[in-house]
Amino acid sequence: MSLAIFDLDNTLIANDSDFLWGQFLVDHGIVDKDYYEAANAKFYEDYKHGTLDIVAFLDFSLKPLAMHDAEQLYRWREQFVETVIKPITLPAAHAQVEKHRAAGDTLMVITATNRFVTEPIVKLYGIGILLATTPEMEDDQYTGKFIGTPCFQQGKVTLLEEWLASSGETMAGSYFYSDSHNDLPLLKLVDHPVAVDPDDKLRLAAQESGWPIISFRD
């Protein structure tokens, strides 16, 4: 039995849930269209180029959570998952998750997208362990801030190491599936790194390192 870790965005699903949630807020008139749509697109481009200021992005992306009642947010999130996320889940990704489950491996998703957005998405794959950036709550209301280490780049390694220390699990025989060069710190840590529909930088790194390159897309 080994640890099988999956990235979420553009790995288990065929787009980026963080970006899509922002667009969902725009499309439903929940945030200012002109400002939010432009800023959301700019942050996403920074992410793809490896230049994202994660603290600035979290300040932007978590702010709408603080502006609305949590119960209303959960209703919007349910609608988002049903209408936007379910159509972009990937059968091949489900199959790979089930392959690891059948082998008795410990399943985990580790993602830079915050826990509010990703918890119900991860449940679609029946994965019980999620490491993600955690939005702060006080008195059952989101504050717009985050708790602990952002789960991004080296932060994914930090949070995984904390989880390993508390769980007693090890990295022996571990797998990590990801599409993004932002995940190179963690890909270099596991025993079996796998590039899934990789961006150009990750594809080059995978080719140079002899890592498998696979696709979960049709």
Give the torsion through C-alpha atoms of 50, 54, 59, 64, to 10 deg.
Answer: 60
What does the alpha-carbon distance between residue 43 and residue 66 come to, in Å, rounded to a whole number? 20
**Hunting for tokens 């950036």 — which residue is that?**
133
CB 177 within 8 A of CB 212: no
How big, in percent rounded to 5, are the helix, strand and coil portions of the chain? 50, 20, 30
User: Is 7 labeled as catalytic in the residue annotation?
Assistant: yes
In sequence order, the 6+-apart residues with CB closer than 8 A to the CB of 143 are 66, 135, 136, 137
Q: Which of 9, 16, 18, 179 is catalytic?
A: 9
How many CB atoms are located within 10 Å of the residue 51 CB? 8
State the catalytic residues. 7, 9
